[in-house]
Amino acid sequence: MTYSELINKINSDKSGIAKGYDISFLQNECVSYSDGDKKFDNILVGDLQLFTTIQENMANINEPKDGDFVEYEKGKYSRISTDRHDGTFQISNNIGIFVSADGSSSASGCTWDSDFDYIESDRLTLDNLKPTTKTMKGECWTFSGNYAGGGRGVRFDINFKVWLLG
């Protein structure tokens, strides 16, 4: 597979996952190999399955977790960015969410987001979160093939739970 063929494969991917990779990772894995097309397809299929597993495992967790959405006012949403483990949390839409196959997640980046209305900090307690049946698509990332390493991250949108802030 050539570099141009790789770019064409990325641009023609219907799932959307191909644009979530660091291009150098895909180059290292696929370019200059006679079976580069097959390698590319196998990477995407494997990682799409990994994200499906992650989403299913996260759906079975009945507690708020990093990356879940909070409806803090009718029609206004943000994501849990930090569970302080003292019963309080912060919210932000300027975060990265790492997810793993066991259904766990952790946020990094800005833990407070000034882009939304002020919310009294005493409202931001886990006791004030009520479960809903809603989910929302949110970006997250994991390591391709579930193997950690520099440049192996892949971003994708999966469903996260939505909690109502009382």
Kindly report, residue by residue over 4-55, the tens digit of the pLDDT: 999 999 999 999 999 999 999 999 999 988 999 999 999 999 999 999 999 9
pTM over 0.75: yes
Helix (H, G, I), strand (E, B) or coil at 57: helix
Predicted confidence band at 109 (pLDDT cuts at 50, 70, 90)? confident
Helix axes 3-12, 36-59, angle to 10 degrees: 40
DSSP 41-56: HHHHHHHHHHHHHHHH
Neighbours of 68 (CB within 10 A): 24
